[in-house]
Structure 1
């Protein structure tokens, strides 16, 4: 009888271990499903060749002949980079390793924006990695703004299924006329479909790519309740394996809002214009549902205390 019970318990352990893996501080999380490696379709490029220092030059340190960079926050300054080109649609990805330790109030952002060219009517597509206000975890937030819709955030928040401070993990944005897809290690975690409901807030103008690390104590920790503790500075994030393939807007027409076209003399070819980028595959849809069911803990579309009337795209 004891032998049968032991065999039964061992069988149960093996079965459930295929679905649950230990995590670094929050208890068990579910093992991610297999998905297509979208990052394999594009080519890594040099950070040094494609991006320039935005601010905090003393806290920007190129590595490995410019293929990687460390950006850091200390009590004097944060730091950041911006792409040399502006893009209308494309695939944008980077491998990032986050600072360890007590990181309350620290934010690492990997995002697209055109606020420099369209200050009153700008678009954004945001990955924001938030140092947790109490624990040593990091929280992932995604957000979009379209046509200056800065008064209505469209945030969604996720607990990660890995420790982002131990190894590099890929954060990717796919943006075209059909949808915007946020991916983590090639798993879609959010899809914003371009349709009538989202038309007014769908990012539509050319954008630059940014990465920044900064003190967000006031914004990210309830008005500064858990500010950055600079006893643990510098907070160093590593960034590399950069992929930037989009329709480049030539500098001769910096405020162009034209749609990418293979026949345009002002625009380059859109690399994500084909049918294979128009919708998620079956595997990607499984991954999306997994991420949202198991790891998303906040969506603006479920925040009825914030919105008396939910935004129209929440009904689709």
Structure 2
């Protein structure tokens, strides 16, 4: 069953579930459909909507025409509805090569009525293993919701409907590489991962429910200007730290909906946690 929700959080919950309104550009201009074939990847409605589908033969994917170095990336996504067990909808930024940087959202499907798991990760110079996972506080298959990355020289923030769920801070002073040199494109794919995606691979994809389809709309990309601290820039560019209200929202999400944090996994790191885990 879905994770419990306290009545004391009702007012905050109301604000968090409000979808972010975005004025997206034409998806024909923003993205190339890269794989899937046979109409598994489609741009519809004159460029207003994009869909990816998965069947027994193939999944599908797309990538951005542009690449970016720092900015804010927003996309509204409606995930695969019904029995999505075994499927993964990945939405991420990545550079190329063995020493690539990457900022990941991955949505792990589940059987009908059970919550999706939102998996996040950050790769720097080819090294990841920085997973945090969350349940969502809404049904991500019923409506579109906005998934965002704010990427600046001093931190990466993951947001859902404009509420921060994770902050990965620049810890170069501790010897931890930070993604700040390599430009990244935006990618998404819908694929079968029933060897691990749902309950560690115990629940397999039910192909009788195929095709599985996810939908995308209202993409918006804003690159940082200058050093991301230009005069007159939007607030998301100028802030080096979350304000008090946003920090409370972050703590609320992590307290109520985080289900895995690599920085607390003592079995995985018996000799001590990675250096960046010491940052609050």
Q: What are the ranges of 5 or more consecutive residues in structure 1 without an aligned counterpart? A: 1-23, 248-259, 263-270
Q: How many angstroms does 1:223 deviate by? A: 6.0
Q: Which string of whole-angstrom CA distances, capped at 9 and with x for unpartnered residues, describes residues 152-197 of structure 1?
A: x111111110001101011000001021000001000001111335
Q: How many angstroms does 1:39 deviate by? A: 5.7
Could you say which residue in structure 2 is the equivalent of 1:45? Answer: 25
Could you say which residue in structure 1 is the equivalent of 2:230? Answer: none
2:54 to 52, 57, 73: 73
TM-score (norm 2): 0.86
Distance 1:278 1:28, change over 3 A: closer
1:240 aligns with 2:217: yes
Whether contact under 8 Å (1:48, 1:62) holds in the other structure is yes
1:54 aligns with 2:34: yes
Q: Which string of whole-angstrom CA distances, capped at 9 and with x for unpartnered residues, describes residues 69-104 of structure 1?
A: 111111111111100011101111111111111111
Distance 1:233 1:275, change over 3 A: closer
More divergent stretch after superposition (175-184 vs 51-60)? 51-60
Whether contact under 8 Å (1:123, 1:148) holds in the other structure is yes
1:100 aligns with 2:62: no
1:299 aligns with 2:261: yes
Whole-Å separation in 2 of the counterparts to 1:216 and 1:120: 22
Q: Count the aligned residue pairs.
A: 266
1:310 to 245, 257, 273: 273
Whether contact under 8 Å (1:188, 1:288) holds in the other structure is yes
> Which aligned pairs between 1:83-98 and structure 2 lie closer than 5 A?
83-98=64-79
> Which aligned pairs between 1:182-193 and structure 2 lie closer than 5 A?
182-193=158-169
Give runs of ≥4 in structure 1 deviating > 4 Å. 24-27, 37-40, 271-275
Q: Secondary structure, in 3 states, of the residue corresponding to 2:245?
A: helix
Whole-Å separation in 1 of the counterparts to 2:200 and 2:259: 21
Could you say which residue in structure 2 is the equivalent of 1:17? Answer: none
More divergent stretch after superposition (198-207 vs 53-62)? 198-207
> Which aligned pairs between 1:241-256 and structure 2 lie closer than 5 A?
241-246=218-223
Q: How many angstroms does 1:235 deviate by? A: 0.6
Distance 1:223 1:282, change over 3 A: closer
Whole-Å separation in 2 of the counterparts to 1:26 and 1:38: 21
Q: Which string of whole-angstrom CA distances, capped at 9 and with x for unpartnered residues, describes residues 209-266 of structure 1?
A: 011111111232466432211111111101011011226xxxxxxxxxxxx847xxxx
TM-score (norm 1): 0.77
Q: How many angstroms does 1:67 deviate by? A: 1.6
Q: Secondary structure, in 3 states, of the residue corresponding to 1:201?
A: coil
Distance 1:274 1:92, change over 3 A: closer
Whole-Å separation in 1 of the counterparts to 2:70 and 2:84: 33
Quick check: which has more Rg, 1 or 2?
1
Q: How many angstroms does 1:294 deviate by? A: 1.0
Distance 1:297 1:198, change over 3 A: farther
More divergent stretch after superposition (56-65 vs 302-311)? 56-65
Whole-Å separation in 1 of the counterparts to 2:100 and 2:249: 31
Two-structure CA RMSD over aligned residues (Å):
2.6
Whether contact under 8 Å (1:139, 1:157) holds in the other structure is yes
Could you say which residue in structure 2 is the equivalent of 1:172? Answer: 148
Could you say which residue in structure 1 is the equivalent of 2:106? Answer: 128
Q: Secondary structure, in 3 states, of the residue corresponding to 2:69?
A: strand
